């Protein structure tokens, strides 16, 4: 794994307001800013008024965004979202996204009316998410949705928040994905952050908590997490959702 330093690099001039904004965003994650040229392969950079994860050679970048067109399309057709059925959105309105990543599923759930607590334990996705949340709060079309989303730096197991109805997991595995966009994001995150090698332990610990269900997002033909068979499944064209019940309910 190529370690990413806890630094956001600024390679273009910024004003005092932008510098203050960055310091406010980054302070919660132990990340600082630097005006020097980065020497690592993957690095965080502030460019085009947002924080992105970049590659030093090909200039590709990954960032979180709650205002762009792809998410708007998913929200417009949210009634058909398989994820809504998996979490039973009509009855379960309090959800913890334990592996938030770039926050897309959390945003869709919040757009359906759920209150979503996002958890990220690595400073890279946490930084990208925090920046995206603040940008989306400035957009009239997304303000109400963002108000139902919160970001927590750490894991669900060191949280003192009231337990949710549903714990949602989308663990990252070193697997093949078809679309170029997902390939790039997975490649960047695997290189910069690593994979969720403890996903089976995460699932088992989640099942020990007093929740109604645990939903795990997987590729359609992907293996069960920890070879643990779910209570039931919701299967789409390329993705499925494995639903587990807590151990107390077994």
pLDDT at position 119, please?
A: 97
Output the domain CATH number for residue 50.
Answer: 3.40.1630
Statement to judge: residues 15 and 132 lie in one domain: no
Statement to judge: residues 37 and 89 lie in one domain: no
pLDDT band at residue 79 under the 50/70/90 scheme? very low
Q: Which of 107, 114, 33 is nearest to 74 (CA)?
A: 107
Average pLDDT value for residue range 158-178: 82
> What pLDDT digit, counting tens, does each position of 80-124 carry?
589 999 999 999 999 999 999 999 999 999 999 999 999 999 999
Q: Looking at the DSSP assignment, which residues form a beta bridge with residue 166?
A: 95, 213
Supply the mean pLDDT for the chain: 88
Q: Does 188 have pLDDT greater than 90?
A: no
Segments of the chain assigned E as strands: 7-9, 32-34, 42-47, 50-55, 61-62, 94-97, 115-120, 149-153, 166-169, 213-219, 232-235, 239-244
pLDDT at position 173, please?
A: 67
Residue 162 structure tokens: 């009231």
> Which residues span the domain enclosing 24?
7-61
Statement to judge: residues 43 and 158 lie in one domain: no
Residue 89 structure tokens: 């959105």
Q: Name the 3-class secondary structure at 224.
A: coil
> What pLDDT digit, counting tens, does each position of 12-37 carry?
999 999 999 999 889 999 999 999 99
CA distance 13 to 184: 28
Cα-based distances in Å from 249 to 110, 165, 207, 211, 213: 27, 14, 9, 9, 10
Cα-based distances in Å from 49 to 71, 101, 149: 20, 20, 22
pLDDT at position 176, please?
A: 52
pLDDT at position 196, please?
A: 63
> Domain tally for the chain?
2
pTM of the model: 0.90
Q: What is the DSSP code (8-state) at residue 217?
A: E
Q: Does 190 have pLDDT greater than 80?
A: no
CA distance 109 to 130: 18
pLDDT at position 1, please?
A: 43
Statement to judge: residues 25 and 95 lie in one domain: no
- Asked, for residue 120, whether it belongs to a domain, the answer is yes
Residue 15 structure tokens: 């004003």
Segments of 124-231 assigned E as strands: 149-153, 166-169, 213-219
- Asked, for residue 109, whether it belongs to a domain, the answer is yes
Statement to judge: residues 83 and 205 lie in one domain: yes
Q: Which of 117, 186, 128, 188 is nearest to 154 (CA)?
A: 117
- Asked, for residue 2, whether it belongs to a domain, the answer is no
> What pLDDT digit, counting tens, does each position of 131-165 carry?
999 999 999 989 999 999 999 999 999 899 999 99
Output the domain CATH number for residue 240.
Answer: 3.40.50.150
Cα-based distances in Å from 221 to 186, 208, 217, 224: 17, 27, 11, 9
Sign of CA dihedral 132, 134, 140, 146: positive
């Amino acid at each position: 794994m190529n370690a990413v330093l806890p630094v956001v690099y600024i390679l273009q001039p910024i004003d005092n307001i932008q510098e203050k904004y960055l310091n406010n965003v980054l302070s919660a994650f132990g990340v600082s800013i630097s005006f020097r040229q980065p020497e690592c392969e993957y690095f965080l950079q502030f460019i085009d008024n947002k924080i992105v994860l970049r590659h030093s050679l090909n200039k590709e970048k990954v960032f979180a965004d709650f205002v762009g067109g792809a998410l708007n399309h998913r929200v417009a057709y949210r009634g058909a979202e398989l994820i809504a059925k998996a979490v039973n959105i009509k009855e379960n309105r309090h959800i913890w996204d334990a592996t938030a990543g770039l926050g897309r599923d959390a945003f869709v759930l919040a757009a359906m009316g759920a209150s979503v607590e996002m958890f990220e334990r690595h400073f890279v996705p946490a930084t990208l998410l925090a920046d995206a949340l603040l940008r989306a709060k400035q957009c009239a079309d997304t303000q109400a949705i963002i108000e139902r989303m919160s970001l927590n730096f750490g894991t669900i197991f060191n949280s003192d928040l009231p337990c949710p109805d549903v714990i949602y997991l989308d663990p990252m595995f070193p697997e093949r994905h078809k679309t170029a966009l997902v390939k790039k994001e997975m490649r960047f995150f695997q290189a910069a952050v690593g994979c969720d090698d403890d996903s089976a332990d995460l699932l088992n610990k989640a099942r020990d908590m007093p929740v109604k269900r645990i939903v795990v997002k997987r590729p359609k033909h992907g293996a069960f997490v920890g070879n643990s068979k779910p209570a039931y499944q919701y299967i789409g064209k390329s993705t499925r959702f494995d639903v587990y019940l807590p151990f107390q309910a077994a």
